[in-house]
Structure 1
Amino acid sequence: MDKLKKVLSGQDGNDDSNVLAERVSEATTLGWGTRVKGFIACFVLGVLCSVMGVIFLWIPGNGLTLFAVFYTFGNITSVCSTLFLMGPMKQLKKMVEPTRAIATAVMLLCLVLTLCSAFWWKNNGLAVLFCILQFFAMA
């Protein structure tokens, strides 16, 4: 009975599973320098995509659709850049804190609605409105 309690509580004496868990943890843990480099790379890519989106805004024809796509991708990449500094679980926990949950929900909803308005609804005014709301939700 004690053996069953240990197994169910995760205190099994099997060292192979603990060694495997430690190896996986060590392999997926990034050093601080690597985290900073990943953050800088993602953040710069996000800013470049957002700037390219603004440049595409002035192209006649499909410029507004390209703006919506690049601006949205830039925002997603910029948000993902902080995953390198904090780690995914800590960032997700912070994003759903009561003080940030509404802004997170609005931002994610506006990201989806921007792409929907650009591709399926073909409504340029809505695409710009949702991009503006993305900006305010992220601020």
Structure 2
Amino acid sequence: MDSIKSLLGEKPQEEKGLWDDINNQCSLTFTQRIIGFCICAGLGVLFAFLAFIFILSPSSFAFLYTVGNILMLVATGFVVGPMKQIKSMVQPTRLICAIVFVLSMILTLVGVFYGWSFIIIIFLIIFQICALLYYIFSYIPYGRQCLQGVCGSVVSV
């Protein structure tokens, strides 16, 4: 039947997948996206600043800082849309950055909830900060190379 429709000039309808259905169900207006972004970004910044109040308590700092990072990631999802955010994160140029960043957040939360030692929590916080920087710089043209050059020059000194 599709071949007959194509002969008549009608384009056959493409099959829509599960992600297309979810994306259509979750479509937001521009105003709703801005409101969602502002709320999530505001809460993310608030949690990040609250984390620095608890800087002497690594577990509290790690939890608040990680929740702040998650909220900021959700906030950017409101701006570009969740599917475009995920597609952008799994592009070959930033797939490793995204995986390392998400895993660093998951490991930090696991460490906090399972009561891992003080030193491991501090290591996970530092690892998460480095992963966040590398992930952010993956969106800037030649950003990762610039960051690697700066870090390389600091280490060699």
Normalising by the smaller structure, the TM-score range is 0.7 to 0.9
Amino acid at match of 1:92: I
Pair 1:81-2:79 in alignment: no
- Mapped to 2, the partners of 1:132 and 1:100 lie a distance apart of 20
- Residue 17 (structure 2) aligns with: none
Deviations 1:101-135, CA, capped at 9 Å, x for gaps: 11111111111211222232521222122122222
- Residue 98 (structure 2) aligns with: 104
Gaps of 5+ in 2: 6-11, 14-19, 134-157
Amino acid at match of 2:26: T
Q: TM-score, normalised by structure 1?
A: 0.74
- Residue 52 (structure 1) aligns with: 50
Amino acid at match of 2:79: L
Q: TM-score, normalised by structure 2?
A: 0.66
- Mapped to 2, the partners of 1:39 and 1:129 lie a distance apart of 30
| Within-5 A mapping of 1:10-25 | 11=13, 25=24
- Mapped to 2, the partners of 1:83 and 1:127 lie a distance apart of 28
| Within-5 A mapping of 1:63-82 | 63-82=57-76
- Residue 34 (structure 1) aligns with: 32
| Paired-residue identity, % | 36
Aligned length: 120
- Secondary structure of 1:29 counterpart: coil
- Mapped to 2, the partners of 1:28 and 1:74 lie a distance apart of 23
Amino acid at match of 2:64: F
- Residue 126 (structure 1) aligns with: 120
Deviations 1:18-75, CA, capped at 9 Å, x for gaps: xxx99x94x63212122112111101101111111121123xxxx3211111111110
Gaps of 5+ in 1: 12-20
1:115–1:127 Cα contact (<8 Å) kept: no
- Mapped to 2, the partners of 1:97 and 1:83 lie a distance apart of 16
Q: 1:28 to 1:120 in 2, by over 3 A?
A: closer
